[in-house]
Amino acid sequence: MFNYKKIINLDKLKSGDHIVLLYKNEKEIISASISFIKTSLARNEKCLYIKGDLNEEILINELRKQLSDFDSYIENGQLQFLDKEETYALSDNFKAKEMIETLKKESMNALAEGYKGLAITGELSWVLNFENGKKEIIDYEWMLNEYIFDDYPVVAMCRYNLNKFDNSIIKAIIELHHYIIWQGKIHENPYYIEPEGYRDNQIVEYEIESWLKNIQKYKKRESIFKEKLKKSEYKYQNLFNSAPVGIVTTTSNGRVVKINKTMAEILGFDSVEEVLNYYPDLSRKLYVNPERRKELVKSLKENGEVKDFDFKAIKRNGSHIWLNMSAKISKESDDFFVIEAFVFDITARKIREEKIGKQKEELSDSFEQITAYNEEIMAMNEELEQSFEEVNLLNQRFVNMIELVSNMGDKTLLSEKEFFSDLLNKAIEIIPEADYGKICIINEQEQCEFIDAVGHDLNILEKIRFDKKFLFHKDSKTINSTNDYFFEINKLKSETKEDFIKGFKPIKNSLYINIVIDGQTVGRMALDIKKNSSKEFTDTTKKVLKSFSTLASSFFAFKRFDDLQTNFTKELLTSIIKIMEMYDLYTKGHSENVAKLASAIAKEMNLSKKTIKNTYWAGLVHDIGKLLIPLNIINKKGKLTEQEFELIKKHPAWGSKALSSSKILKPIAKYMLHHHERWDGRGYPEGLKENEIPVISQILAVADAWDAMLSRRSYRKSLTTEEALMEVKENKGSQFSPRVVDSFIKIIENNKIEKLKVDVLKKEINNSKKEKHLLKRKEDYEELFKKAEDGIVILDEDFNIIRANNYFINMFEYQKQQIIGANIKKIVPKARIEETKNYIQKLVQGESINSKTVRKKENGKMIRVSIQAFSVSLNGGNMGYYVIYRDITELEETRIKYENIKERYKALFENDNTIMLIIDPDSENIVDSNPAAISFYGWSKKELTSMKITDINILEKKEVKKEILNAKAKNRNYFNFKHRTANGKIKNVEVYSQPIPFAEKEYLYSIIHEKNK
């Protein structure tokens, strides 16, 4: 039965202490080892026990009794039991030098892991089995004293079995340890000699000298460790704690290791211990701006030392002070290192420097706001330390890109070639390094084809096709770079390769990125620097190019959704029109004829593509209000009564009201309402005249009348083309708009009317060339349902899911058997139940749904979706519903992000509080002024921007020029001037000027503050 006896005073050990345990039986090992392990864990040191002669099971069982957290120490690695082979890196021999290097590395690893140091205990009797074993043991012991204990946070207990060593070795071992554990007690060693004796092989001389010294100084003490602490205090007290400067030792991961009293007082603490407990993480609790701590660590890592590093710190009471630090690395291991630093409180100096005038704080706040916005933009581009000039350049690029994003809805009217040509040219314009560019898409045959290029020969490139498998990084979602081609040109056929070489101009470097939709690469965009150029692509450019890729992907997404929405709308409207034509026996084909002719007139008038599209839709539905007029009146052969004609005149209003309930068709409702208005104001329903009438309604009036005159009606025969044309000309300026009639006559005279029989308008309405997106027939609906890259479900009359395509199942992450038969409310979050009930009510009443909302996946995660829903007739004549879901989460986030940036940066300059001017330092012209400047000086923006700064500053022109050059060269930034205002008053102002590059020219960004205000 073993009884553990604690070794008294072993808990007083500190880093640098070297103890030897001399024993003859196992019980002595167990008590000393348990005491050593317990005290090292209590000091938060990492403890390594190297196995030796003892049966470790006995030790471990006893430790479990003594340590309630024994298993957690083992699990987290703070306590480790190691075989001597894995610790001492044994091969054929034991090498003292190699073991010393291992201890250095392990002690640094312990600090990096968050411990205060390393405690190690090991058995060395087995070393005697090796060649020169005695020598290596003695070398190892003196090297510990020489190279480890003064410089590394290590405490060691060496274990020696007296039964296995001769007296000469034991004598040397005793001489090389500060303390000895013998027969259950710890003793200060009066026979300890300095390691130099063994290092220099002058053992006898050092023995005599050290023993005499120890005899002279050695005396009884109440506690050997208290005396050791006093010696340490005497040695460092005046140098460390009494120093008039703050001294601190920290680790690179933010832990405070040591701090002097002056530093504690600077931070508002009464004792050093309070500081050590208060700051577990410097970057989080000491630094006002944690990023400054990161900058310090980064600079130290790169240079080894930092001088005059200023930062704002948080005192114990929460107040802020300015500190100046000079620091260097004292110990280093891989990415972890220890930092020693001198710190000065420079708060008073900072206050003096910043105190220029009574209102300086207001000016400083304005500048800090600008700096804060700049830092935000740099953070978005993952470059927190970009220069002020680069931020302004980046701002200009983002403003241009925001314009692209804000017009994204209109750009879906462009063809792919038109859009990408616009995008590529914008990229070349925004990115100054780029000389050339090219863009390709992957077609239906999985081949790459170039659709536009800048600088390269597009005539050659657009004729070439090659398999997408030859693309480098074809599935990459990041920026890639090359100084050659972005595909494997050597694997192409020789003639194709020769064509490419002819088509491409030589380049120095190329950046390229894939255009990705739903995880699939659909194209690629590349920007090139021409050969022999001195320019280089910057990291900022790479971020901007990635944004262009996002725009391209967004265009595809918008385009596809717009095409799908347009085709559904067209199919539904066509069905309604066919019902109307069956209702009105004499108007078969009339609506389609009017739509085609009206949109052709709009094109002839050079109206926008969006207007042409709206003209087509308005023409297609202009007469649907007639569905509410009794059949006997619609098809009456005789003359209508006054009452019947009044009823006929209501069909524009009824049709307009019907369209107003649809979000898609609401914009064209007003055109239907006014298509029977007359140019002279004698039309209906509101009697509008001339340009009070919407231009699309003016066009519909001519197109409707023309087709009606050429068609047979129940009450008259059709007119000839010549007769109808004469009617149109005679009513120009009375019934019809003169401008519309002129455009219509050009169509007639150029024989363009015949061309309308071919569906040319379809190209203006929908540029998509993929037949699989056109829902003209029942088979097309089925094809769309299966292959559409939108989630589609078909619901029964109780709104249960009876069919769901694969895209829907994948979007909401359900298994098919989980979703079929379930109610559509299964994917509706609780907060949207009432909204969904309203949708269901509208669908039951025959209305369609086109909205944006939120839905939930099977795992509960929320996604933003657009919903398009309408009723359909199922097999057997039962009522059902068709619902399309589109995931717009990423698209919405992108748009919101760009809108926020745009608004924030407008707020920087366009504000009413801080006076700002942009000045050309070369010409001295004022090139821009904000609202605050206009209010302050009293001139309008137009007047201010036509003036020179010398018109305002009352100094001599040569003096003004001199100060402008100082500001441009950054020799000075702050100036005191007198400025003249529009009313003739002279005002004392303080001016802060900073040079900023815009495009290829440098301007002065000036903030003006009235001093005596």
Structure tokens at 764: 């203006």
What is the per-residue pLDDT across 349-366, written as a single tens digit (0 to 9) for each?
Answer: 888 777 765 556 665 566
As beta bridge partners, residue 314 has: 320
Give me the CATH number covering residue 194: 3.40.50.300
Residue 158 and residue 124 in contact, taking contact as beta carbons nearer than 8 Å:
yes
88 and 204 fall within a common domain: yes
Question: Running DSSP on this structure, what letter comes out for residue 145?
Answer: I
Q: Identify whether 688 is part of a domain.
A: yes
d(CA 150, CA 152): 6
pLDDT at 776: 38
Q: Which residues contact 551 (CB under 8 A, 6 or more apart)?
A: 401, 404, 405, 408, 423
d(CA 499, CA 502): 5
Structure tokens at 173: 């071992």
d(CA 739, CA 735): 12
**Average pLDDT for the chain:** 79
Say what angle helices 388-406 and 539-583 make with each other, to 10 degrees.
10
Lowest mean pLDDT among 150-159, 225-234, 834-843, 912-921: 225-234
Closest C-alpha to 315, from 262, 352, 264, 251 = 264
Q: Which residues contact 742 (CB under 8 A, 6 or more apart)?
A: none
What order do you get walking across the sheet with 915-919 strand by strand?
926-929, 915-919, 1001-1010, 986-998, 974-980
Domain range for 538 is: 415-561
Confidence of residue 414 (pLDDT cuts 50, 70, 90): low
Lowest mean pLDDT among 322-336, 484-498, 688-702, 749-763: 749-763
pLDDT at 199: 55
Q: Identify whether 620 is part of a domain.
A: yes
Which value, to the nearest 10 degrees, does the dihedral of the CA atoms of residues 693, 699, 701, 702 take?
Answer: 140
229 vs 323, higher pLDDT: 323
**Range among 365-374, 652-661, 824-833 with highest mean pLDDT value:** 824-833
Confidence of residue 413 (pLDDT cuts 50, 70, 90): very low
d(CA 415, CA 769): 10
**Range among 285-294, 359-368, 911-920, 1003-1012 with highest mean pLDDT value:** 285-294
What is the per-residue pLDDT across 323-335, written as a single tens digit (0 to 9) for each?
Answer: 999 999 887 777 7
Amino acid in position 580: M
Q: Which residues contact 838 (CB under 8 A, 6 or more apart)?
A: none
Give me the CATH number covering residue 438: 3.30.450.40
Confidence of residue 586 (pLDDT cuts 50, 70, 90): very low
What is the per-residue pLDDT across 282-313, written as a single tens digit (0 to 9) for each?
Answer: 767 888 998 998 899 899 888 889 988 999 99
Structure tokens at 806: 């694969």
pLDDT at 331: 78
What is the mean pLDDT of the segment spanning 830-839? Answer: 92
What is the mean pLDDT of the segment spanning 862-874? Answer: 82
* Neighbour tally for 167: CB within 10 Å: 8
What is the mean pLDDT of the segment spanning 880-890? Answer: 83
Lowest mean pLDDT among 84-88, 716-720, 829-833: 84-88
pLDDT at 751: 67
pLDDT at 236 over 70: no
Which value, to the nearest 10 degrees, does the dihedral of the CA atoms of residues 258, 262, 267, 270 take?
Answer: 90
pLDDT over 70 percentage in the chain: 76
The verdict on whether omega for the bond into residue 685 sits within 30 degrees of 0, i.e. cis, is: yes
Confidence of residue 782 (pLDDT cuts 50, 70, 90): low
Confidence of residue 663 (pLDDT cuts 50, 70, 90): low
Amino acid in position 36: F
Q: Which residues contact 75 (CB under 8 A, 6 or more apart)?
A: none
* Neighbour tally for 515: CB within 10 Å: 25
630 vs 674, higher pLDDT: 674
Confidence of residue 485 (pLDDT cuts 50, 70, 90): confident
d(CA 1000, CA 1006): 19
pLDDT at 157: 93
209 vs 504, higher pLDDT: 504
Q: Identify whether 737 is part of a domain.
A: yes
Structure tokens at 432: 């100054």
Closest C-alpha to 311, from 257, 341, 359, 347 = 347
pLDDT at 448 over 90: yes
What is the per-residue pLDDT across 755-780, written as a single tens digit (0 to 9) for each?
Answer: 554 343 343 334 333 333 333 334 44
Question: Running DSSP on this structure, what letter comes out for residue 148?
Answer: I
Among 350, 366, 387, give the residue marking a domain's end: 350
Lowest mean pLDDT among 692-706, 744-758, 774-788: 774-788
Let me know if 375 is exposed, middle or buried by CB neighbors in 10 A (0-12, 13-18, 19+). Answer: middle
d(CA 919, CA 909): 14
As beta bridge partners, residue 744 has: none
pLDDT at 239: 63
Give me the CATH number covering residue 940: 3.30.450.20
Closest C-alpha to 540, from 420, 373, 376, 397 = 397
808 and 887 fall within a common domain: yes
**Residues for the chain: how many in total?**
1013
1006 and 971 fall within a common domain: yes
pLDDT at 980: 93
Q: Which residues contact 758 (CB under 8 A, 6 or more apart)?
A: none
Confidence of residue 237 (pLDDT cuts 50, 70, 90): low
720 and 647 fall within a common domain: yes
pLDDT at 691: 92
133 and 212 fall within a common domain: yes
Count of the separate structural domains present in the chain: 6
94 and 209 fall within a common domain: yes
d(CA 119, CA 779): 78
What is the mean pLDDT of the segment spanning 465-470? Answer: 90
**Quick check: helix, strand or coil at residue 240?**
helix
Buried b (16+ CB within 10 A) or exposed e, 378-388: beebebeebee
Residue 921 and residue 965 in contact, taking contact as beta carbons nearer than 8 Å:
yes
| Angle value at C-alpha 138, between 137 and 141, nearest 5 degrees | 90
The pTM (predicted TM-score) of the whole model is 0.31
Lowest mean pLDDT among 106-120, 538-552, 662-676, 966-980: 538-552
**Quick check: helix, strand or coil at residue 548?**
helix
534 and 671 fall within a common domain: no
796 and 720 fall within a common domain: no
Amino acid in position 702: V
What are phi and psi for residue 667, nearest 5 degrees? Answer: -60, -25
638 and 745 fall within a common domain: yes
Closest C-alpha to 791, from 658, 699, 884 = 884
Lowest mean pLDDT among 80-84, 263-267, 863-867, 876-880: 876-880
Closest C-alpha to 765, from 916, 968, 563 = 563
29 and 112 fall within a common domain: yes
Confidence of residue 559 (pLDDT cuts 50, 70, 90): low
Residue 673 and residue 652 in contact, taking contact as beta carbons nearer than 8 Å:
yes
End-to-end CA distance of the chain: 90
Residue 442 and residue 523 in contact, taking contact as beta carbons nearer than 8 Å:
yes
SS (H, E, C) 39-87: HHHHCCCEEEEECCCCCHHHHHHHHHHHCCCHHHHHHHCCEEEECHHHH
**Quick check: helix, strand or coil at residue 384?**
coil
Q: Identify whether 609 is part of a domain.
A: yes
pLDDT over 90 percentage in the chain: 22
Q: Identify whether 772 is part of a domain.
A: no
Buried b (16+ CB within 10 A) or exposed e, 321-330: bbbbbebbbe
Q: Which residues contact 689 (CB under 8 A, 6 or more apart)?
A: 677, 678, 679, 680, 681
What is the per-residue pLDDT across 45-67, written as a single tens digit (0 to 9) for each?
Answer: 999 998 887 778 888 888 998 89
pLDDT at 332: 76
pLDDT at 192 over 80: no
Q: Identify whether 355 is part of a domain.
A: no
What are the DSSP calls for 264-285, one per residue? HHHTT-SSHHHHHHH-S-HHHH
Which helix (H) or strand (E) is 397 found in, with range? helix 388-406
pLDDT at 907 over 70: no
Among 527, 561, 595, give the residue marking a domain's end: 561
What is the per-residue pLDDT across 77-119, written as a single tens digit (0 to 9) for each?
Answer: 999 998 877 666 444 567 888 888 888 898 899 988 889 999 9
Q: Identify whether 392 is part of a domain.
A: no
Q: Identify whether 578 is part of a domain.
A: no
540 and 689 fall within a common domain: no
Distances (CA, A) of 406 to 410, 526, 555: 9, 23, 12
Structure tokens at 425: 């040219």
878 vs 900, higher pLDDT: 878
217 and 280 fall within a common domain: no
pLDDT at 272: 84
